[in-house]
Amino acid sequence: MRGVRWRRIASQVGRSVAVWAVSTVTMLVLAALLPDFQLQSADGDSTTRIAVTAACGAGAFGILSAVAWPVLVRLLLLVPAFVLGLLVFFLNGSLLLLALRVNPSGRGVVAPETAVIVAAAMSAVASATGGALAVRDDEAYRRRLHRLATRSRRAHPPCPTAPGLVCVQLDGVGHDVLADAVRKGLMPTVAGWLTPGGGRPTADGGRSSHRLTPWRTDWSSQTGASQLGILHGSTFDVPAFRWYEKDRGEVMVCNRPTSAAELQRRAVRHTGDGGLLTVDGASRGNLFSGGAGEQALVLSIATRRRGRENRSRAGYFAYFSDPANAVRTALSFVAEVAREIGQSTRARLRGQRPRVSRGGLYPFVRAFATVVERDVVVAAVMGDMLAGRTSVYADLVAYDEVAHHSGPHSRDAEKVLQRLDRSLALLERVAEHAPRPYRIVVLSDHGQSPGETFRSRYGLTLGDLVRAGCGLPVPRRAERTHSGAEARTAVRAALRRPVEDRAEQHRPARRSEPIVLASGNLGLVSFPDVPHRMTKEEIDARHPALLPTLANHPGIGFLLVRSEEHGGLVLGAHGAEIPLAELDDEPGPLAPFGPGAADAVRRTHSFPHTADIMVNSAYDPVDGEVLAFEEQIGSHGGLGGAQSRPFLLSPRDLSAPTADGGEPAGAEHVHRVLRRWLGELSGPQVPLVRDVEEERAA
């Protein structure tokens, strides 16, 4: 045992010396190439003196990077992630300047701007050298991966031998998109899992290691509803991505920290347990915690006072505490910004249609989602696996962000899928070094449906159309559109005003104006001055032209309203009015949206905070296109097409998602499937009552 320990120490010392030597050579080469970087005095020095200067400088830089860098990053946790990414180069260059200043040889001069380049190059070379040496033995590789972990366990109990479960959510990747990517060879790791003999060996040697199963979302096909259902077992009262709550006078937005925290509290109260991850779980990059004890980049805890239970940004520290990681991610961030600018410019020059604006801060938002968030979350999951945690759930948002602006089937989005596949391959490799077996489940929360925007096709927004239908003033550009003119005509006819009175049209409304919100191709109209959910009869009495204007518009598929007579009504073109109780016999406007649409609409109708008018855009079943009420050419949030059909990719040594081989219906069903799998792997998962009480108290 003592001999093994000494060999390990000798191996570590040997690798450190090798990295130091390579860093020294790198510094010498850079000094020869860069005119503003010198390792000798003005009068010149011997080759030996220059080599000693380089060796001392490289050693000092390495020590400072190992000691000072983690402290600097921890101090910068209060800095926004975007700013932190830009500061990486400045901090690294500053450490090099300090290393040359404390160099005992008294030599070494570099311009500040050149120091940034030299420091970045040396960090990259040192990282590559250390990695190349470490992968030669498994134990060294495991130690290197541990340095990327979020944090180690507070205690180190014996690791269970039962398999753990790792769930990786590829945000926005629909079942059809994944199948196409596998068929095109874009995702070889996933293809290997789905190819007989291409994954892990199976008992009969003739089956693939994983099965691919589609599942159906609720009407609100977006991350807030789906992930809340998957992690906490409830999608109740989440009618959209954003909606107005009359009793609180507040707009809820699923990716707003205060809203996410409130939704999680409601789900805990509704279900009575803390969530999927309450037993030795970790939540990484998610909107909600799932009751996990280990959390990083979790939105629902972002508003809490920083403490032991609030580790939302701990993942940043764990990852960026290694300067090599920081430099590599920062360089990739810059490259991704340049890539987006080039791709959007090419699309504009080619006159690509449909197209949305991709300027402003979007290149930086995309780079954060596709580089920083991916790198930090993957590193955190690697650390969780090496720590032997029982359950992990992580969200990778890269594809969803790019597909919104480039399209779900675009070349830009396909490139993101290739990089996500490499992340899955890395996690599969880490599983081989973990202290316990792991089953990796890959799933998505929703898909995306292509199509141009409502505004692009008709020249006005849903808000403009609603205002026109209410007889309220609209922007001049909307007035001149065909839809706007038709809406004004309908209002005049309903009010028996054959001649338009411009003064009357622009008179301020006496009643509170409607609030119109968009969630992909799902729109919500609420009248805030009415404390309850208005009925069709009340809406007709107040705005007689509004519902006909919306229902008969070619860009709208159907409406959902409350009815005094029927409880709930689905409205469509040409006066179609179908009571919810009769949808199964006569789907009417819901017919193009396929099976499950009627159940989804009925369930949303039962929510306390469903809007006065729920609006779903038109859907073309032939090409699968919808019309987004937001500025997105790949959208989700309502019914229609691929957005409602995500996937579940699971190992075959877990039970089938459904007993009859069908598709799970709703995120709550997926939650029950994952709970069952956790029970199969590690025994029944008993929710921690303590976590429930904490959520209730919060």
pLDDT band at 72 (very low <50, low <70, confident <90, very high): low
User: What pairing do the DSSP bridges indicate for beta strands 294-296 and 281-284?
Assistant: parallel
Looking at the predicted structure, is the pLDDT value of residue 296 above 70?
yes
Look at 593 and 690; give whichever has higher pLDDT: 593
* % of the chain beyond a pLDDT of 90: 52
Q: From CA 241, how far away is CA 135, in angstroms rounded?
A: 44
Give the range among 13-22, 131-140, 467-476 with minimum mean pLDDT.
Answer: 131-140
Q: Identify the bridge partners of residue 244 per DSSP, sorted by sequence position.
A: 251
Looking at the predicted structure, is the pLDDT value of residue 186 above 80?
yes
On whether the CB atoms of residues 283 and 292 are closer than 8 A, the answer is yes
Q: From CA 341, how far away is CA 367, in angstroms rounded?
A: 11
Looking at the predicted structure, is the pLDDT value of residue 320 above 80?
no
- The DSSP line for 115-135 is HHHHHHHHHHHHHHHHHHHHT
Distance of CA 632 to CAs 149, 347, 538, Å?
35, 15, 33
Looking at the predicted structure, is the pLDDT value of residue 291 above 90?
yes
Q: From CA 390, how far away is CA 665, in angstroms rounded?
A: 26
Q: From CA 340, how far away is CA 344, in angstroms rounded?
A: 6
- From the list 523, 385, 519, 506, the residue with the least C-alpha distance to 462 is 523
307-321, 468-482, 600-614: which is most confident: 600-614
- From the list 696, 697, 682, the residue with the least C-alpha distance to 276 is 682
Is the backbone peptide bond immediately before 201 cis, with ω within 30 degrees of 0? no
Q: Would you give the distance in Å from CA 400 to the centre of its chain?
A: 7
pTM of the model: 0.80
Average pLDDT score over the chain:
81
- Counted residue by residue, the chain has a size of 698
Q: Identify the bridge partners of residue 503 per DSSP, sorted by sequence position.
A: none
Q: From CA 547, how far away is CA 361, in angstroms rounded?
A: 37
What pLDDT is recorded for position 56? 75
Distance of CA 417 to CAs 213, 409, 471, Å?
19, 11, 47
Terminal Cα distance for the chain, rounded: 50
- pLDDT, one tens digit per residue, over 601-614 is 999 999 999 999 99
Mean local confidence (pLDDT), 676-680 = 94
Looking at the predicted structure, is the pLDDT value of residue 25 above 70?
yes
Q: From CA 661, how far away is CA 389, in angstroms rounded?
A: 30
- pLDDT, one tens digit per residue, over 352-398 is 888 888 888 899 999 999 998 998 899 889 888 988 999 999 999 99
Domains annotated for the chain, with CATH where assigned, are 2-136 (no CATH), 163-235+274-447+643-697 (3.40.720), 454-632 (no CATH)
- The DSSP line for 47-89 is HHHHHHHHHHHHHHHHHHHHHHHHHHHHHGGGS-HHHHHHHHH
Looking at the predicted structure, is the pLDDT value of residue 149 above 90?
no
On whether the CB atoms of residues 207 and 646 are closer than 8 A, the answer is no
Looking at the predicted structure, is the pLDDT value of residue 568 above 90?
yes
Query: HSE-up of 137 (CA within 13 Å, CB side)?
Result: 8
Element (H, E) at 45: none
Q: From CA 288, how far away is CA 276, in angstroms rounded?
A: 11
Radius of gyration (C-alpha) of the chain in whole angstroms: 29
On whether the CB atoms of residues 213 and 663 are closer than 8 A, the answer is yes
From edge to edge, which strands make up the β-sheet containing 556-563? 515-519, 522-526, 613-617, 556-563, 567-571, 577-579
